[in-house]
Structure 1
Amino acid sequence: MKKILLLALFLLGQSAWAQTVTPGKREVVGRDIGQLKGIKIQGRIIDEITGEGLVGATVSVPELDVTRVTDTNGSFDLVLSRAEYNLQFRYVGYELIDYPITAVGDGRLTIRMIQEDFQLDDVVIFGRDPEKNIRSTDMGAVTLSMNTIKELPPFLGEVDIVRSLATLPGVSQVGEASSGLNVRGGGVDQNLIQFGGAPIYNPSHMFGLFTAFNADMVNDVTLYKAAVPSRFGGRSSAILDILPKAGGVDHWGGDLSVSNYSGKISLNGPLVKDKVSILGGFRISYINWFLKAMSNETLRNSNANFYDGNIIISAPVSENNEFTYSYYTSYDDFAFSSDTTISWKNTAHSLQWKSKLSEKLSLDVLGYYTVYDYGIFNESGINDFRINSDIKDLGGRVNLFYDFSPTSKFSFGGMFKQVGIQPGELIPEGEEDILPQKVQDELGRELAAHFQHEFELGEKFGFSYGLRYDVYQYLGPRTVRDYEENEPISDGSAISETVYSDGEVIQTYNGLGPRASVRYSFNKSSSIKLGYNKMYQFIHLISNTATIAPSDVWKLSDQFLAPQIADQYSLGFFKNFKGNIFETSLEVYYKDLQNVVEYKDGANLILQNDIETELVPAEGQAYGLELYVKKNLGRITGWVSYTYSRSLRRVITSFEEENINDGEWYASNFDKPHDLTLIGNYKISTNTSVSATFAYSTGRPVTLPAAKFDYSGNTLAYFADRNQGRLPDFHRLDMSLNFKFAGEGKFFDGNWTFSLLNVYGRKNPFSVYFDHSEGSPPQSFRLALLGVPLPSLSYAIKF
């Protein structure tokens, strides 16, 4: 009898513990066991269709003025008293759930949210937590959902993730066809861009005209530009974390999109019903017709192709355990005037395991493998050759998250990675008089341990502090030159060589990277925050161009090239108005940079086996002011961002001939003091909206020739100070019209988008080049990539 009674009590407890919200009646959570206070309600918010946990969704208890945000598993915790409550669940792009419960004891809820039907005018939804910018201790952390990004005018018919981030304060690009981002005065190599946890080294198609990420494969993107959490490292400027979508677990569906420049398709559904889902997507360009229409003969005789693909397998094997495999690939080739082909390819695999080990402890384990191949091929028929290079990055991480209470959270973990670089190999094609050449491979290893603690003291103060310890080793095999002391490092000062064996440690660097931020809330709608972080970077992009290109050289830190170190200080004021309809912020920052890489005047960077002879160490500083005003709700939405910033460099060495600009501070390649962006979206009706983007920025610095001279019968340009000139200021207006035809069930009942880039035909110069003119100084000419209005039409449908 006692066993039967115990079994009955156990089954009764299980039925009280696991419950699913079904709107329409008051849910009784738990059983009446005499509790009055301290009732613990645990829950998980998931997508109704895919079963995927919704990260960053909010649950609010208006009676207690309490709001909680779901973790990386979509889970949340509440501590209630015995009473009746009206819980509110919000997530961007999903229908709001306003649900009453009666709390009588500990229990668990599973909330299934449905994506918003945009034909309903009377549904008003806040994106994520509407007060997160006020209450959190995060500084410079911005999360954009795909719904927000899709409201911006598309670029050449495509929603562009990277360009969307460039509309935010403190984030910029150097031109119209530039890949990567410049964040708070940093270079493109100072950002860690990861998709599904795997690093991506070249995030662009066609040198930046397209972003190399298919928006249909992306759930959301988060950019950390200030007080970066200690679990991130390896770069000195910013972290861009792109989270992939998950497929459906109960039925099959997909998306199809075509434009006059590219097309893409995705398909998702259950591999195992209600247990394992798969999402696959493929995108390809057919832009050659556009090049054939160009007036420039060189471009008209060129060819361009790209594609990218994704496979994402998600297996939530239980409510507390989920495995996700992500595969990503992208490929580009560009044949310049049909004789020189430039190509690059990204391939990335990642496998992630998320587990809720207990009520308070959760685990996140991830392993990845990334390959970036790039090369140049000469097929002119004269001295044909190819130059191949690649980067292989293998690593993993383990993170544990422990919640002491709803207002005190602790995380700790570690990471390991090994990076191998093949800087370049010249392979002759045919029987020409070109000798093969290969630059020595490089191998480096990184390890790190870290912790982070976030807690609140009352309603006024919030704190976050953490520490990251990085260790880096530069490994053999490698033959390293020895140079004369008290002489500049050059070919002429080399005196001997040292040979290191396979796996032998050549150089070791380590350092502590503290991270901290504090928030003081004046009231529920305003706060002030102060932040600091220190970051180390052990890989460098050696380039004399303003954007990532296959001709660039990636270089690991060694005994000649120390790791970059960045110290950043931030101060910000945050204020919301009219019930969080308007969101504003004002931030100032200062960044100190050490061991930034600069090249010597006249440096040769291609196929350099001893590239340290072409480089000099520099120090840098960046500072600025950022203003942000955003309207979240209403028929008219959008934002205004303005940044005043400076990004400066200085090179002072022990040898005067190596100093640049006589040791004075000069502007970096991406220094643009003024940067203004205006974003507007007007919803004409439930099926029609129009959006516009206006951007203005100071022209980027360039080095202009000061004179010309004859040498051995050749006319050469003489360059004096570096980056003392500027391109003309940049400004451009883009507009788009988005509409959907009525007629449910018909093929044409999809989403149509007509966009017009560069509405008034501004000829923004991407670069300036010079040509010889007899009897006068070198004449300058502008190269504009988008010098005329450029229309595009795209059509997207779900099936």
Structure 2
Amino acid sequence: MRKILPLILLFQFLLLGVAEAQEKRTVVGRDIGELKNLRITGRLIDEITGDALVGATVTVRELNKTEVTNTNGSFTLILDRAEYILEFRYVGYETIIYPIVAVGEGRINLTMIQEDFTLDDVVIFGRDPEKNIRSTEMGAISISMNTLKELPPFLGEVDIIRSVATLPGVSQVGEASSGLNVRGGGADQNLITFAGAPVYNPTHLFGLFTAFNPDVVNDFTLYKAQIPARFGGRGSSILDIAPKSGSLTNWGGDMMVGTVSGKASINGPVVKDVVSAQLSFRGSYINWLLNSLNNPDLRTSQANFNDINGILYGEINENHNLTYSFYRSYDDFALASDTTISWTNQSQSLRYLGQFGEKASVDIIGFHTLYDFSIFNQSGINNFDLTSGIIDTGGRLSFTYQLGENNRINVGADTKRITIQPGELTPSGNGESGILPQKVQNEYGMESGFFFQHDLEFGEKLGFSYGIRYDTYSYFGPRTVRQYAENLPLNQGNVIGERAYADGETIQTYDGWGPRTSIRYSIDSKTSIKAGYNKMYQFIHLISNTATIAPTDVWKLSDQFLRPQIVDQYSLGIYKNFKGNIFETSIEVYYKDIQNVVEYKDGARLLMQNHLETEIIPGQGQAYGLELYVKKNLGRATGWASYTYSRALRRVITPFEEEIINDGNWFPANFDKPHDLTLIGNYKLSSFTSLSATFSYSTGRPVTFPEAKFDFAGNSLAFFRNRNLERIPDFHRLDLSLNFQFQGEGKFYDGEWTFAVMNAYGRKNPFSIFFADQPGSPPQAFRLAILGVPLPTLSYSLKF
């Protein structure tokens, strides 16, 4: 017993020492005698790279209060003079428990280190785990790049646009398709912004790749129900992509080599702790794959793409910072070596974020965007060069004032000028071409908006958000406009004159109020019900006879013939978390009423058309649906399942019988797919190995089949009666990937290897339908599959 007693005393002493260490608190601030409303600021960065940790959560245990770090990794807490325990959490990083004593205004700067996952479950939340329950936001989904990297890569790397398409209510028309269809809206009804600047064609190689390098993306948020009042100009959704700024403390970078593309980036301090820079480049070398195909046209084709990003970030002080972002992407595709199609996205933005005192902040951004495409034919006969483009320049001022802990207002304004060059055709080939020069008139427009939004909570049960946006639009010259006879269809035969408008002269104006509102009622801490209403105006339209965005599509501004699209959306949802927020679920229903959607007359000619009003018809649209979402956040196995039942319908009724489509009945839109199911899973086999899978199923999209054929002037022509009453076969596909992480103490093989198989069971999903004449019968339909076999890819990436 005498020998055991000293050991017991020693053990008690060690326990007291540990307890004392745990209770040791950091004193924050300088004691100035204030007792309440002490402003504590701070910043979280990666311990190794120095990158700002955006979207990390800071929880004050005693107050059950959680704040989220901004784009600089900074946060602000308003506390009383007291002792607190702070919890810092970020997905993929070790949680920090940080006891403090707040005695005055002060600052906390912390570094976080990435978590080394073990086989046991690790509970890590990279955001407020109950945000989906407590927030008044509906249909807003944010995804960090850490989450995105757990999905199977597409041709060797993660893909932002395709990842968004796995969410409920979001779809694409098929493989190798660009653009998104959100809750029954067309691809042109989505505003996609990168660093605050709009992007008009978000893909490479006709939709095979996203045009955004994932290494420079921090996170992205999709708004598809209750859209904040600061956003306008599109009818269905906003996809806001936030770039990653470089480290202010250390130089580092990333590299990746894949089967068909590679990329590299470097970032670090230009002026330590003040200014950082990031430069990234990505390019393709897919031609070896094309050259190995059996199809002779593809074997003689060439495809290339590249994109470059540059980001400068500067801290004026802890409350004010500036970010400059430059982005450029380029594509060219030469079909059978005689026709080259190319397109370019280019944008620049400058953003200022400032915090004034404890409650006021300001966000100012200016941007300039350029999008152009060209088709260059050098077949030797009728050589030509066809070009088109868009210039979009504008800015936004947003002011936020915190009236209380759960009471915030946001007011501001935005404006932009849009110039569209619809098309210019010039002959090429040393004067041997039989093509005559032709240019479609440029279009000029100005969009502006003023907005107000108020978010507040009444206790723990009730939350309310309401706002309004006033949109104004002007369409102006120079332009020559046709005049048509009244009460007759708009066509060539009914032209009675023309009017020329001078440079800057107003041709047409539109305006309107767009209210936004949502309400949340919490049944308990894990369950809430939300309802919302949204009204949006859209003054730009995509003129296309295809179901997906193509580089040759024409963008068209609203004018005196084509009115703006107006979308009213009603939403209702129930949200519930289970088992300590490990599982989150939601059920949402919605209904949309859409005015002035663009439909096309039979046989419409859209390319190089100076008077599109003779080829298009305004129609009505409606969309409705049910969305189910189940997500598992934690554990060795994570992932989500989403199912959407939705309908997107159109109707065209005019006073003129020859313009009525399908006898005035409702018919499916080109992208209507009633059933859409996505299953995503990620399983950690060990600390350094994971297996991912994605399964997708959707109803085949609508298509119009010919019912008969007839001879005209010696040609056999197809006869079409009704539009979009048939469907292509259903779509389904399984993608798999295996990821290995190697740690070799600085040796050359440090990094990650990813082996992926797209279309694992070789499904021949139809991308499009074409028709071939068959003697004695109507033209027969044949399917074109872009990816009809399993496609394996291998990529290697490392950080330095």
TM-score, normalised with respect to structure 2: 0.95
CA offset at residue 295 of structure 1?
2.4
Partner of 1:349: 348
Q: Which stretch of structure 1 is more off in the superposition, 246-255 or 568-577? A: 246-255
CA offset at residue 712 of structure 1?
1.1
Partner of 1:682: 683
CA contact (8 A) 2:57 2:126 kept: no
SS, match of residue 797 in structure 1: strand
CA contact (8 A) 2:61 2:85 kept: yes
Partner of 1:165: 164
Partner of 1:117: 115
Q: Mapping of 1:371-386 within 5 angstroms?
A: 371-386=370-385
CA offset at residue 709 of structure 1?
1.0
Q: Mapping of 1:56-455 within 5 angstroms?
A: 56-71=55-70, 74-103=73-102, 105-119=103-117, 124-430=123-429, 431-455=432-456
Q: Within 2, Cα distance between the matches of 1:686 and 1:728?
A: 41
In structure 2, give the amino acid aligned to 1:366. Answer: I
Q: Within 1, Cα distance between the matches of 2:105 and 2:81?
A: 12
CA contact (8 A) 2:31 2:104 kept: no
SS, match of residue 207 in structure 1: helix
CA contact (8 A) 1:44 1:53 kept: no
Partner of 2:658: 657
Q: Within 2, Cα distance between the matches of 1:24 and 1:311?
A: 45
Q: Within 2, Cα distance between the matches of 1:470 and 1:448?
A: 4
Q: Within 2, Cα distance between the matches of 1:74 and 1:636?
A: 29
Q: Within 1, Cα distance between the matches of 2:636 and 2:764?
A: 33
CA contact (8 A) 2:118 2:686 kept: no
Q: Within 2, Cα distance between the matches of 1:226 and 1:366?
A: 24
SS, match of residue 324 in structure 2: strand
Q: Within 2, Cα distance between the matches of 1:23 and 1:660?
A: 74
CA offset at residue 79 of structure 1?
4.3
In structure 2, give the amino acid aligned to 1:577. Answer: F
SS, match of residue 778 in structure 1: strand
CA contact (8 A) 2:52 2:245 kept: no
CA offset at residue 42 of structure 1?
2.4
CA contact (8 A) 1:692 1:736 kept: yes
Partner of 2:3: none
Q: Within 2, Cα distance between the matches of 1:505 and 1:795?
A: 56
CA contact (8 A) 1:236 1:565 kept: yes
CA contact (8 A) 1:40 1:77 kept: no
Partner of 1:621: 622
Q: Within 2, Cα distance between the matches of 1:496 and 1:757?
A: 57
Partner of 1:3: none
Q: Within 1, Cα distance between the matches of 2:500 and 2:748?
A: 67
Q: Deviations over 1:394-439 (max 9, x none)?
A: 0011111111111011111101100000000000013222110000
Partner of 1:5: none
In structure 1, give the amino acid aligned to 2:112. Answer: I
Partner of 1:554: 555
Q: Mapping of 1:377-776 within 5 angstroms?
A: 377-430=376-429, 431-776=432-777
CA contact (8 A) 2:649 2:668 kept: yes
Partner of 1:47: 45
In structure 1, give the amino acid aligned to 2:108. Answer: T
**Cα separation, partners in 2 of 1:245 and 1:712, compared to 1, 3 Å:** same
Q: Within 2, Cα distance between the matches of 1:115 and 1:264?
A: 25
**Cα separation, partners in 2 of 1:593 and 1:329, compared to 1, 3 Å:** same
In structure 2, give the amino acid aligned to 1:398. Answer: L
In structure 1, give the amino acid aligned to 2:569. Answer: Q
In structure 2, give the amino acid aligned to 1:744. Answer: E
In structure 1, give the amino acid aligned to 2:606. Answer: L
**Cα separation, partners in 2 of 1:320 and 1:524, compared to 1, 3 Å:** same
Q: Deviations over 1:71-118 (max 9, x none)?
A: 555444444454432111122233321111123x33233242424133
Q: Which runs of 5+ in 1 are unaligned?
A: 1-21
CA contact (8 A) 1:483 1:493 kept: yes
In structure 2, give the amino acid aligned to 1:689. Answer: S
SS, match of residue 772 in structure 1: strand
CA offset at residue 39 of structure 1?
4.2
Q: Within 1, Cα distance between the matches of 2:273 and 2:78?
A: 31
CA offset at residue 32 of structure 1?
5.8
Q: Within 1, Cα distance between the matches of 2:32 and 2:278?
A: 45
SS, match of residue 474 in structure 1: strand
**Cα separation, partners in 2 of 1:600 and 1:115, compared to 1, 3 Å:** farther
CA offset at residue 546 of structure 1?
1.0
Q: Which stretch of structure 1 is more off in the superposition, 80-89 or 284-293? A: 80-89
CA contact (8 A) 1:592 1:622 kept: yes
Aligned residues with identical type, % of pairs: 66
Q: Within 2, Cα distance between the matches of 1:79 and 1:325?
A: 30
CA contact (8 A) 1:45 1:57 kept: no
**Cα separation, partners in 2 of 1:453 and 1:52, compared to 1, 3 Å:** farther
Q: Within 2, Cα distance between the matches of 1:415 and 1:467?
A: 14
How many corresponding residue pairs? 776
**Cα separation, partners in 2 of 1:55 and 1:746, compared to 1, 3 Å:** closer
**Cα separation, partners in 2 of 1:321 and 1:35, compared to 1, 3 Å:** closer
CA contact (8 A) 2:28 2:108 kept: no
SS, match of residue 418 in structure 1: strand
Q: How much is the aligned-residue C-alpha RMSD, in angstroms?
A: 1.6
Q: Within 2, Cα distance between the matches of 1:203 and 1:23?
A: 50
CA offset at residue 65 of structure 1?
2.3
Q: Which stretch of structure 1 is more off in the superposition, 59-68 or 218-227? A: 59-68
CA contact (8 A) 1:78 1:406 kept: no
Q: Deviations over 1:570-604 (max 9, x none)?
A: 10100000110001000000011001111111100
Q: Within 1, Cα distance between the matches of 2:797 and 2:51?
A: 24
CA contact (8 A) 2:130 2:526 kept: yes
In structure 2, give the amino acid aligned to 1:66. Answer: K
**Cα separation, partners in 2 of 1:115 and 1:717, compared to 1, 3 Å:** farther
Q: Within 1, Cα distance between the matches of 2:22 and 2:30?
A: 20
Partner of 2:10: none
Q: Which stretch of structure 1 is more off in the superposition, 491-500 or 50-59? A: 50-59
In structure 2, give the amino acid aligned to 1:307. Answer: N
**Cα separation, partners in 2 of 1:84 and 1:393, compared to 1, 3 Å:** same
SS, match of residue 658 in structure 2: helix
**Cα separation, partners in 2 of 1:23 and 1:556, compared to 1, 3 Å:** farther
CA offset at residue 52 of structure 1?
6.1
CA offset at residue 336 of structure 1?
1.3
CA offset at residue 184 of structure 1?
0.4
Q: Which runs of 5+ in 2 are unaligned?
A: 1-20
Q: Deviations over 1:412-467 (max 9, x none)?
A: 11011000000000000132221100000000001111011101000001111111
SS, match of residue 571 in structure 2: strand
CA contact (8 A) 1:375 1:387 kept: yes
Q: Within 2, Cα distance between the matches of 1:379 and 1:115?
A: 56
CA offset at residue 738 of structure 1?
0.2
CA offset at residue 548 of structure 1?
1.1
Partner of 2:15: none
CA contact (8 A) 2:46 2:52 kept: no
SS, match of residue 114 in structure 2: coil
Partner of 2:785: 784
SS, match of residue 146 in structure 2: helix
Q: Deviations over 1:524-578 (max 9, x none)?
A: 1110101111011110000010111122110000000001110001101000001
TM-score, normalised with respect to structure 1: 0.95
